[in-house]
Structure 1
Amino acid sequence: MYQSVRSVSGSLRRASSSCSSREFRRSIVTDTEVDQARNYCVKQLRHGDYEAYLIRQFIPRSAQDAYDALRTLNLELARLPETVSSPTIGRFRIQFWRDTINNVFAGKPPREPISILLYKAVTDLKARAGSCSSNSLKFWLLRFVTTRERHMENRPFTSLSSLEDYAENTYATLMYMTLAAMPLQSVHMDHLASHIGKACGIVATLRGIPVLAAPSQPIQGPSGANLGTTRSPALLLPLDVMAEVGLKEEDVFRMGPNAEGLQDAVFQVATRANDHLITAREMIKTLRAGEGPGHDYEHEGEVEHAYPAAARTPEAAEGDIRRGFGVLLEAVAAEDYLKRLEGANFDPFRVKASWKLPWGLWRALKGHQI
């Protein structure tokens, strides 16, 4: 559990002109608390999600606090199955975060660093863009938490399509939230975020194979007594892909990278992630050429995917891509992992740490190409 940021007593500083004094009186959040919360979240990312730590520097300043808070929350929720002794306890933690989110958007953030920084981001967003953008952010955030809860037990995905759905509702949704925090309402950017987010979600699943398939660690109480284990070994590769290549979960748990069919299954799943990155790359080219994306956006017309007419035109795409390009850098991190995975002959147990990602991010920014 994260350590709460120490409350700061004393009189409130004068709220900035962008935030109402009534909101600050209700929440009792000071500039010092916000600074402490921001430092805490950045530290968590530096040690727990280094890719996000690098990318955060290129996120538009207006959305940076939201990005830091949301990515740190993603770390917290992703770690839950590893840090609790049962799914029931995990669901209690999920409900804590659901209540926390509702309190943050109601102007009553708990004294907890993620919620304090998220409250700052939401307050600033309301002042800049009104309540519609903050309502959109809340919608995506609650959907994100619900999806994490649904996958608390680390069960295999039934199909490659179900893995893509999970990625859409987690990693693509994280990108939607960053866009909402700017705010940037664009069918083109949402379309790109959907493809890139799906690739990132698939990559996260592949990256987790060596961790989740390893034997779990025992939990010891204060007296040293064994209280059980955190979890059972898990393999989240899609069942349809595993059946096609003849891969068995038990073989991976017993033999690790030597399990027959593992590399074939990983290759198929990684290929789907790469396909999404290729699609996003081609979309950027065609949109910059003044053409359409080349295919329909499957989520257009759904809740929070409604756009003004001006946001639909190819002419608007270039400005949207330039303004939100930092959000699209998630594609560079996903591609970096896929290249290292290919270099390891699609054995996720042999993938080496990356040292080229900072260079890849710089090159992408310089050429505005992912």
Structure 2
Amino acid sequence: MYRSIRTAGHGLKWTAPRWVRECRRGIVTDADVTQSRDYCLNQLKHSDYETYMIRQFVPRSANDAYHALRTLNLELARLPETVSNPTIGRLRIQFWRDTIERVFAGSPPREPIAILLHSAIAQLKSRAGDGSASSLKFWLLRFLKTRERHMENRPFVSLAALEDYSENTYATLMYMTLAFMPMRSVHMDHLASHIGKACGIVATLRGIPVLAAPSTPIQVPSGANLRSTRSPALLLPLDVMADAGLKEEDVFRMGPNAEGLQDAVFHVATRANDHLITAREMLKNLRLGKGPDHDYEHEGEAEHVYSSAAHNVETAGSDIKRGFGVLLEAVAAGDYLKRLENANFDPFKVKKSWKLPWSLWQALRHEQI
């Protein structure tokens, strides 16, 4: 029950219960953090098992941040499937935008991802000072803005547009993980950019069988089913589909038998593989004390301004060793591309992976991606 107390000259004054006062003050207990961590791990384990496997190799200093960020990515990725219309989806995005503001203000709402992210930021500041978290808010808001822009599952205009999307989502997730360590290295960010672009392209290819199928009803708390307003979608770049003679309607009607589908998928998958090859060559050169052989295209952009020390090739080897777990995203992307190739670039026939644990172990053992 709510309590009231009598104060001199003011009659009765309402006093909120303790849990309400703590929520208002943004007080987060160790038990809250533990429960939030368990929630995020459970979400990843059941809905993003590759990330769940990789997370154990992410540097401990960035572990909670990785759990929170990847669970947020999971929630936003499935928004079109879990809301009844795009307007509700945009309201959900606005909720997360407001939540991020509150997290950085030190008063997170009682939401597991927000609580774990708040805790990770507080730990980062205690280790490296208040300025260490300065770039994170920028990355998070850019990530949300990009997800919102593509929430309606419209095809990408071009392959370059798909790469931009991947840079602003999956590569950005990697930038944030590195920032939580904290690590400020142009070479690690450069590697993260190529690997993140590959991961974003792979995620688009993975989604073809799911998004091209008719949407399923959405169950509301009352138990009733609402018909989803989502129409079947094919996110392959329009310029690639045009070159392959592929039509969206053919995929919706004929699935894997649509003419030109495998050619279009091959073209897009090749670009993802090119980014992985580039990252592997960079890794090799940096370990040998050489430069990456090409410029980082995003250097000089917002939050990509580096000190001279961050360009030091001589220290790149130690940075790679310290943050190698973050780069393991490349192993999962490469594993999918191999399975896609074995299926003759038919995304509807890609088999589940059982070799990924072995591939991750081999990557760690030899420090290769």
Q: TM-score normalized by structure 1?
A: 0.92
Match of 1:153 in 2: 152
Instruction: Please state if 1:311 is matched with 2:315.
Output: no
Percentage of pairs with the same residue: 78
Shift of 1:133: 2.2
Q: Does the CA contact (< 8 Å) of 2:24 and 2:107 recur in 1?
A: no
Residue equivalent to 2:284: 285
Does the aligned pair in 1 maintain the 2:214–2:232 contact within 8 Å?
yes
Match of 2:31 in 1: 32
Residue 82 of structure 2 corresponds to: 83
Aligned to 2:13: none
Count of aligned pairs: 353
Q: Superposed, which structure 2 residues align to 1:50-129 within 5 Å?
A: 50-129=49-128
Give the conservation status (yes or no) of the 8 Å contact 1:38–1:113.
yes
Structure 2 CA distance, aligned partners of 1:11 and 1:236?
Answer: 46
Q: Deviations over 1:318-354 (max 9, x none)?
A: 0110010000000000000000000000000000110
How far, CA to CA, are the matches of 1:34 and 1:210 in structure 2?
Answer: 36
Letter in 2 for 1:179: L
Structure 2: how far apart are the matches of 1:99 and 1:301? Answer: 28
Measured at CA, do residues 75 and 222 of structure 1 come closer, stay the same or move farther in structure 2, by a change above 3 Å? closer
User: Aligned partners of 2:198, 2:288: CA distance in 1, in Å?
Assistant: 24
Aligned to 1:357: 356
Shift of 1:162: 0.2
Q: Residue 17 of structure 1 corresponds to which residue in structure 2?
A: none
* Map of 2:295 onto structure 1: 296
Unpaired segments ≥5 residues, structure 2:
1-16
Q: 1:11 to 1:139 in 2, by over 3 A?
A: closer
CA distance in structure 2 between the aligned counterparts of 1:10 and 1:233, rounded to whole angstroms: 44
> How much does 1:74 deviate?
0.3
Are residues 132 and 263 of structure 1, via their aligned partners in 2, closer, same or farther at CA, if it must alter by over 3 Å?
A: same
Give the C-alpha shift of residue 224 in structure 1.
7.4
Question: Which residue type is aligned with residue 75 of structure 1?
Answer: L
**Distance verdict in 2 for CA 1:247–1:8, change over 3 Å:** farther
Letter in 2 for 1:303: A
- Give SS of 2:78's match: helix
Distance 1:226 1:74, change over 3 A: closer
Which residue of structure 2 lines up, in the alignment, with residue 42 of structure 1?
Answer: 41
Cα distance in 2 between the residues matched to 1:196 and 1:8 = 46
Distance in 2, matches of 1:212 and 1:250, equals 13
Q: Is the 8 A contact 1:217 1:230 kept in 2?
A: no
TM-aligned CA deviation for residue 131 of structure 1: 2.2
Q: Report the more deviating stretch, 77-86 or 326-335.
A: 77-86
- CA 1:256/1:315 → structure 2, altered by over 3 Å: closer, same or farther? same
Amino acid corresponding to residue 291 of structure 2 in structure 1: G
**Displacement of 1:227:** 3.9
Equivalent-residue separation in structure 1 for 2:179 and 2:34 (angstroms): 22
Alpha-carbon distance in 1 for matches of 2:366, 2:66: 23
Shift in Å, 1:223: 7.4
Tell me how far apart the structure 2 counterparts of residues 223 and 126 of structure 1 sit (CA, whole Å): 43
CA positional deviation for 1:59? 0.5
Indicate the residue corresponding to 1:262 in structure 2: 261
Say if 2:133 and 2:179, in contact at 8 Å, map to a contact too. yes
> Which digits, 9 at most, give the CA deviation of each residue in 1:41-99, with x for residues without a partner?
00100011111100100011100000000000000000001111111110000000000
Deviation at 1:130, TM superposition (A): 1.8
| Alpha-carbon distance in 2 for matches of 1:210, 1:235 | 9
Q: What is the alpha-carbon distance in structure 2 between the residues aligned to residue 362 and residue 285 of structure 1?
A: 19
Q: Deviation of residue 204 (structure 1)? A: 0.1
Is residue 81–residue 87 contact of structure 1 (8 Å, CA) maintained in 2? yes
1:128 Cα offset (Å): 1.1
Task: Tell me by how many angstroms 1:10 deviates.
Answer: 12
SS in 1 for 2:227: strand
2:217 maps to amino acid: P
- Report the Cα offset of residue 101 of structure 1: 0.6
Match for 2:278: what amino acid? Answer: T
